[in-house]
């Protein structure tokens, strides 16, 4: 049984890893954490499953006058737009394009900062395990899933500690499996289900990625 709220993202990651433990046998698996909040969760999952950790930089597209309200999301070349919402709120196409361009620029900046010229992991024929700290609308994860699908993995699995029912229903239709620890009846925001939900910064993302890569190198040397 899962007791909410989680203490922090690391605890949530350890609990999620326990539910994903059957994937330890997936030697072709890669954990893909959505930046930035999903990285501590993904770090724990990768650590406990003994799998490499990589990232997917996905960005929410916020409504111009209410940025926290998502009208879509982007990840790589994938773009998700909530057309009914955009039409209902009367958001001009020019405003949408401006926000997309801004978020694309930030996405590229983060890719450069986090990867430091290292290429993304080759996912062809592998098991891609996408992880985030939670799903509110599911649009950001859906964009990440579509982006990852373009890399031709054998399977796409999504794992999250907590999500709204709406988000679960949306994402589940687009993946091979969805593991979610808790689906509260009333869901306002992901952060309400964590005691410590401090923002994850670029330094923390780079530290966790470096630590995970170091662990993977040590494991590779040990089996030689």
- Band (34; pLDDT cuts 50, 70, 90): very high
For the chain, what is the mean pLDDT? 93
Is the pTM value of this prediction over 0.85? Answer: yes
Per residue in 73-110, pLDDT (tens digit) is 999 989 999 999 999 999 999 999 999 999 999 999 99
CA distances from 211 to 34, 54, 219 (A): 17, 12, 12
Domain ranges for the chain, please list them: 9-58+119-222
Is 90 exceeded by the pLDDT of residue 68?
Answer: no
**Token pair of 116 as six digits:** 């430091």
Q: Does 224 score more than 70 pLDDT?
A: no
CATH topology of domain 9-58+119-222: Rossmann fold (3.40.50)
Looking at residue 176, the DSSP 8-state letter turns out to be S
Alpha helices in the chain (DSSP H): 9-19, 38-49, 83-89, 93-115, 139-149, 165-172, 202-222
């Amino acid at each position: 049984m899962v007791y909410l709220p989680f203490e922090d993202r690391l605890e949530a990651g350890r609990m999620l890893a326990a539910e994903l433990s059957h994937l330890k046998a997936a030697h072709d698996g890669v954990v893909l954490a959505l930046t930035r909040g999903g990285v501590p969760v993904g770090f724990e999952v990768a650590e406990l499953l003994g799998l490499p950790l990589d990232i997917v930089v996905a960005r929410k597209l916020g409504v111009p006058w209410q940025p926290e309200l998502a009208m879509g999301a982007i990840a790589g070349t994938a773009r998700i737009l909530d057309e009914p919402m955009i039409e209902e709120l009367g958001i001009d196409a020019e405003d949408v394009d401006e926000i997309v361009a801004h978020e694309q620029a930030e996405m590229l900046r983060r890719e450069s900062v986090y990867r430091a010229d290292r290429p993304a992991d080759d996912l062809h024929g592998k098991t891609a395990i996408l992880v985030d700290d939670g799903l509110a609308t599911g649009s950001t994860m859906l964009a990440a899933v579509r982006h990852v699908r373009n890399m031709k993995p054998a399977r796409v699995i999504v794992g999250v500690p907590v999500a709204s029912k709406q988000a679960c229903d949306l994402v589940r239709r687009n993946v091979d499996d969805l593991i979610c620890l808790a689906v509260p009846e009333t869901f306002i925001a992901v952060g309400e289900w964590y005691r410590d939900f401090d923002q994850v910064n670029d330094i923390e993302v780079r530290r966790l990625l470096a630590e995970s890569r170091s662990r993977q190198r040590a494991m590779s040397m040990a089996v030689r």
